[in-house]
Every structure is written in C-alpha cells, then in structure tokens.
Amino acid sequence: MSSVVRVGEAFEASVWRVVVLDVRESCCIQGPEGGIYRQAPKGKKVVLVGVRVENRGVDPSQHGNPFGSGLGQFARPKLITNTGNEYLDLGLKVCEDGRLQYCIYDPYTQRFVKCILDDYLEEVRTPDTEFLSKVIKCREIFCWHLSPGAKGEGDLLYVIPENELPMKLVTTYYPPLHKPSIIFEVMLK
C-alpha cells in the first residue's frame, strides 16, 4: 500500500500526522539558535527538509519516537534525487555536554552511531559577506519523543551532490503485527 502527497499536505498513520513544510538548499548553513556556521564540501550542497510531526493519540501509552523502523513507527525518511540516488538524513544527537551534533542514524540498531558532521560539513569560524549571503538557518529538529497531543517541527538535513535535485522524500510506516506496511512519498518538486 502506498500514498503520495505534496509539500504542505499531511500523511497520517495510526497516531502520527506528518507534514513536510518546505525544502531549502544551499552550500552554507547556520545551526539552530545562532549556532556554528557550516559549509558543504566542494561539489556538495545541503538540503534542509522542514517537517512537522503531531502525535494525535490520547492514551498516555501512545508516546514515543515517530521515526525508528519499529512497529508503530516510520522508517527514517530517504531523500531521492532526480538521478534516483537515495540519501539518509543526518540526525541530531544531544551530546553529554548538552551540545547538539548531527550523526548518522542506523535503522538496524535504532541508534545514532557516529558523530560525523565534521566529515560532511566544514566549520566556518569567520564567515565573509559572500558566505553570509548564502547561509540558510537550520531549524532545530523536532523532539523525537512525542507525548499524546504534542507537536514538534524542525529540519531533516541531507548532504547531496550539488548537481542533483531533491525530488521526493520516502518513508515506510510499520503498523502493529498482521497489518500491511504503508509507503509514503512526498513529492518535493
């Protein structure tokens, strides 16, 4: 079973309601709340996909992480480009000192496995005027653990070749046992 929506339209499964708000592209970003400036390596660009998630459940036991590939969850969204290439987002991890870092999310272990933002995006300590004119601000990612009635929003971050165009976001919802999974496609262009 599959469902296709566009940016601004909701897709729903069980207690979850998800809307892709927007898609922004640049070679330069600034972290949430005036954070560090980052730049994609030569030949790459950053794609930020704004997402809002709502837990419409009423039972206190209906809380949790909407993305995680378990029963009652969506798989991590894949970005598919005009070339057919697929990319996983870099997820946020809260470090022991309270800083937020982007990490690769491993859907098999359902854990953030390695802080790799520096492997993908270079820190820019003294941005010049040209750099600042290209910067897009990265909104803090929504809370991964949403209680019934709660909403959260923020950006999913992808690093892709600069000559590719983001075309769609794809995720699969895994319902409780004995029900078919649902593939959701969000057309970005």
CB 138 within 8 A of CB 28: no
Please list, residue by residue across 78-97, b when 16 or more beta carbons sit within 10 angstroms of its beta carbon and e when fewer do.
bbbbeeeeebbbbbbbeeee
Q: State pLDDT tens for residues 69-104.
A: 677 888 889 999 999 999 888 765 444 544 445 555
pLDDT band at 138 (very low <50, low <70, confident <90, very high): confident
What percentage of residues in the chain have a pLDDT greater than 90?
A: 43
128 token code pair: 């010049």
Residue 10 lies in a domain: yes
Tally of domains in the chain: 1
Residue 107 lies in a domain: no
CATH number for the domain harbouring residue 27: 2.60.40.1240
Range of the domain at 22: 2-89+115-187
Residue 108 lies in a domain: no
pLDDT band at 12 (very low <50, low <70, confident <90, very high): very high
Residue 20 lies in a domain: yes
Average pLDDT over residues 38-51: 92
Look at residue 161 and tell me whether its pLDDT is greater than 90. Answer: yes
Higher pLDDT, 38 or 99: 38
Residue 149 lies in a domain: yes
The total number of residues shown for the chain amounts to: 189
CB 152 within 8 A of CB 16: no
CB 119 within 8 A of CB 32: no
Q: Supply the pLDDT for residue 69.
A: 62
Residue 27 lies in a domain: yes
Residue 172 lies in a domain: yes
Look at residue 19 and tell me whether its pLDDT is greater than 60. Answer: yes
Residue 95 lies in a domain: no
Q: What's the chain's average pLDDT?
A: 82
